[in-house]
Chain A
């Protein structure tokens, strides 16, 4: 996992460790988000207790749910395109796993230190659209088809503001590498004061808001949950799925929320780092090794805060209509993010 340790590790062991680490990095946030937010925070907001029986305060409820789903029969509709129907949830979940690969958790705790990491993340995140689209198509169900089509339209529309929002960060950091972006934020200074580094949420506030809105739409969470729309399309593309295939969609939904929160944390909140000035670090090599342990914890905390916001919005808002959502994307978010890019570029040149 770590570049330092990799010296005395054979390649296969590194691979196994990375795969294990990636699984943990996907499933742990997903489980925590489901328990803390979906079960408990939602219940608190709705003045009820939520699950209380399985484990202390229902903390083992998720395991019970997973056990239940695994026991269920793997059903598929009679007239479904069975092969495509079966691989669709795998495609969705795969994109989540691919996404986490570029997220750095510490100075040496990364899965892959990819030069064009931001570019890669944005590209890979749209793979899930394919999974959702084919899930909707292969279900041989009109509601699923409508859900799949809505999802495709929506995810494509919100891909663009997301990319444009990130470009501001890329311009400011001068790099597409996540490590470099994290470094730039923590080593930066605000008008000479380096007490908190320079997290881009301050300079890229507009970009951050657009990014979070786009993430909300990308994750198909309320207010942008038209592809799922329980009251209209009865869960949309997921309607026909049961058992562990539904579980995959379910994990995919919340794991992606976690991973996008991680990416947002790395891009806007300073990622795994703490302001380098506190310990007098000035470059990547001078960072103490314990940051490889503390870094992931910091990332996790930031992830929880951001996914808390995502879930909070999810539980409180009604949903848009499809055409209103498209209007919002093309007429509001994209122009604003273009202006943001322009302003960033001008200021970058000016300073």
Chain B
């Protein structure tokens, strides 16, 4: 984009992407639950969870989306902890916990997010898949070998089970780690504000003698 173009000059209707979405819909049929096109920017489509491995394979083989970009997940629940910067002494404000999904909609709290690109000149596509409460979804590592590590990472960070994954171990976390760090209800301990201990500035050691503090 040259510098003379202003943001207003971006086309309002993106025929390339619109026709590509139509092609995807025609090819995948009812597997496409929803789609969204941001003109001049990107495509978002939402696939049905039960057939999504086949859909991705079709997209790779028939729709020219042959380049695997990344796979991850999104937890759409607003964080109950906020930014961890609230005044700890004040009464915590009422938090809006309604779940609002992003582009291409969604029904569940967790969504798997996959981005595929094409090296044959087709537009790139962001794929979203709803995850139900079983937190289980098919693994696409048989379609894109590179998804192997991404699924391992998403699995440990969000607690998703990828059915059919060859070896879903933890990627980063220790194997005995409890919890799933990227879920919004996982507190980021570094940002949790503890009340200033006041006069007593020696905190009792965890597990230590309760009377060990300065009294």
A contacting B, Cβ–Cβ less than 8 Å: no
Taking beta carbons and an 8 Å cutoff, which residues of A are in contact with B? none
